[in-house]
Amino acid sequence: MKTVADYIRTIADFPHEGIMFRDVTTLFSDPRGMRLAVDQMLHPYAGQPIDKVVGLEARGFILGGAIAHQLGTGFVPIRKKGKLPGPVISEAYTLEYGEAVVEVHDDAIQAGERILLVDDLLATGGTAEAGIKLVERLGGVIVGCAFIIDLPDLGGRARLEAMGMEVHALTSFAGD
């Protein structure tokens, strides 16, 4: 029986030399792989009261929409700066090569709503941390952070857990 990791393609030296890129598009394109990933990502949260699923741009949208559908909840996208119409709040964060900003509509989450944050990959945790901060600024309560892949050597899980977050990942790749 195949695991989620079996559906993930590794591409050496992308986007530049020395990087082992974990490509989840091969997982998404296979109906069994996609179903397996969505089911396993939502499993720890089934039966918990969750008001909305928040997905981080861009692959978090694919997963978040599917998970929200299965849970019968709403979906909220957190996007790169300048992509959302209407009033937004923003959060800057540091990347290995600079800085980025993500945004969410200022009315997307109501105070006290229970939120599941999802994305495909947890590396340094910068994007996830920025997403968590946006949700919390709107008064949302993060019940968990779910990812397909954890790259533990990059410290993202430890960073989120230090913030008090519950982190769930389906597979990990050490040394990346």
Per-residue pLDDT tens over the stretch 101-131: 999 999 999 999 999 999 999 999 999 999 9
pLDDT (0 to 100) of residue 3 = 98
Q: Which two tokens mark 53? A: 């699923």
Give me the domains of the chain, ranges plus CATH numbers. 47-172 (3.40.50.2020)
Residues 6+ apart with CB under 8 A from 135: 54, 104, 109, 115, 117, 142
Distances (CA, A) of 92 to 33, 102, 116, 129, 130: 33, 7, 21, 10, 7
pLDDT (0 to 100) of residue 120 = 98
When pLDDT is cut at 50, 70 and 90, the band that residue 176 belongs to is low
pLDDT digits (tens, 9 = 90+) for 57-106: 999 999 999 999 999 999 999 999 999 999 999 999 987 778 999 999 99
What is the 3-state secondary structure of 28-48?
Answer: HHCHHHHHHHHHHHHHHHCCC
3-class DSSP state for residue 17? coil
Full-model pTM? 0.96
Which positions are annotated as active-site residues?
59, 96
pLDDT (0 to 100) of residue 97 = 72
Alpha carbons 102 and 133: distance in angstroms, whole number: 10
